Structure 1
Amino acid sequence: MKALEEKILKEGIVKEGNVLKVDNFLNHQIDVAFLDQMGAEFRKLFHEKKVTKILTIEASGIGVAVMTSKHFDYVPVVFAKKSKTSNISDELYHTKIHSYTHQKTNDVVVSKQYLNKDDHVLIVDDFLANGCAMLGLINLVHQAGAKVEGVGIVIEKGYQEGGAKIRELGYHLESLAIIESMNDQTCEITFRK
């Protein structure tokens, strides 16, 4: 998505430790109109898939998932919670996901009432780096006996192994922008062609 690459170059900040800061439009302050464009792009990329649910993980993926849902006739969005709260059912699917950004492991849960064997799931998230979150979400879908129809990522760090892992497992993975390299000294970002 050329518009996303241009927005990253214009508004993104490369920080030390391979961190791309895009929180001014994607995951702290949200540019809703731009997320709507991303949702439309995911619809184009997965138009042939039957999608009954969109799954993401809290919190940064929720905005993208909701705007993507709009373009899939408002199918329900389910987000995996990073901890069990007192108002969630005890009937849960569980997986452990290590967060690259926060350097901690979360016990991630989804209530069994929101994913089942009849679901066709599009997984959507803001970033893909080492693939831990995606593999965890895929695991939750499999626990439910549902089908993963595809994985949609806003920004993939192509120089890390996550994308390759997901593709090697045979999943239909589409990323709107794939970063080939970043340099925090020069602030240069190179995208995959």
Structure 2
Amino acid sequence: MAADYKPFAPLIERIKRDGKCLEGGILKVDSFVNHQIDPTLLQSMSIEFVRRFANKDINKILTIEASGIAPAIMVGFLLNVPVVFAKKKKPSTMQDMLVTEVFSFTKQRTYSVCCSKEFLKKGDKVLFIDDFLANGNAANGVMELCQQAGATIEAMGFIIEKAFQ
């Protein structure tokens, strides 16, 4: 964790107000983060990501479908870089791809995630954006995809870190 890390106060307030703790350590924030999205909160979180990663040399945002797509797009828009999302199902149109396995804590299953080699390439400098960091499974999967491509992870940003998992 970075020395200058400070929790994002507007998000903490919103979690306290509208978040729900479910059995098994699941934090439900679907009313404002990952099912219904509060665009004003998303914009302010994205501006905060940009502020925190302003010193990084980033030319691509990467996420895994589906909940990471909205914040990734907003950050990509603000940084003016393309956004790529790894897919959980291989499209019939995708020929040359990178593939890895990712375990989902929420769904309690393993997914094969894939990304076209056309969009994640050697030399890319990647910012990984996602909604949650729990056990680090998605982050490890993205690192594996980047390693396969010859891309470098410059930074990772998560809306919510569940440090207790």
Q: Does 1:80 align with 2:72?
A: no
1:105 equivalent in structure 2: 110
The alpha carbon displacement at 1:43 in A equals 0.5
The alpha carbon displacement at 1:118 in A equals 2.1
Q: Does 1:136 align with 2:141?
A: yes
The alpha carbon displacement at 1:39 in A equals 0.8
Aligned identity (percent) is 49
Size of the aligned set, in residue pairs, is 158
Q: Does 1:44 align with 2:33?
A: no
RMSD: 0.8
DSSP-derived class of the 1:42 partner: helix
Q: Which letter does structure 2 place at the counterpart of 1:56?
A: T
Q: Verify the 8 A CA contact 1:53 1:120 in the aligned structure 2.
A: yes
Q: Verify the 8 A CA contact 1:80 1:110 in the aligned structure 2.
A: yes
> How far apart are the structure 2 equivalents of 1:57 and 1:92?
15
Of 24, 27, 31 in structure 2, the residue corresponding to residue 24 of structure 1 is: 31
The alpha carbon displacement at 1:124 in A equals 0.4
Q: Does 1:151 align with 2:156?
A: yes
The alpha carbon displacement at 1:69 in A equals 1.0
TM-score by length of 2: 0.94
1:120 equivalent in structure 2: 125
> How far apart are the structure 2 equivalents of 1:32 and 1:47?
22
Q: Which letter does structure 2 place at the counterpart of 1:121?
A: V
Of 53, 62, 66 in structure 1, the residue corresponding to residue 60 of structure 2 is: 53
> How far apart are the structure 2 equivalents of 1:33 and 1:118?
34
The alpha carbon displacement at 1:77 in A equals 0.5
Q: Does 1:34 align with 2:32?
A: no
> How far apart are the structure 1 equivalents of 2:50 and 2:78?
6
The alpha carbon displacement at 1:32 in A equals 1.2
> How far apart are the structure 2 equivalents of 1:86 and 1:33?
36
DSSP-derived class of the 1:25 partner: coil
1:96 equivalent in structure 2: 101
DSSP-derived class of the 2:75 partner: helix
DSSP-derived class of the 1:43 partner: helix
- Hey, which bits of structure 1, 4+ residues long, moved more than 4 A? none
Q: Which letter does structure 2 place at the counterpart of 1:32?
A: P
**Structure 2 alignment gaps of length 5 or more:** 1-7
**Structure 1 alignment gaps of length 5 or more:** 161-193
> How far apart are the structure 2 equivalents of 1:113 and 1:44?
29
DSSP-derived class of the 1:40 partner: helix
2:71 equivalent in structure 1: 64
TM-score by length of 1: 0.80
Q: Which whole-Å deviations, capped at 9, do the CAs of 1:97-130 have from their partners, x for residues lacking one?
A: 0111101111100000001112110000000111
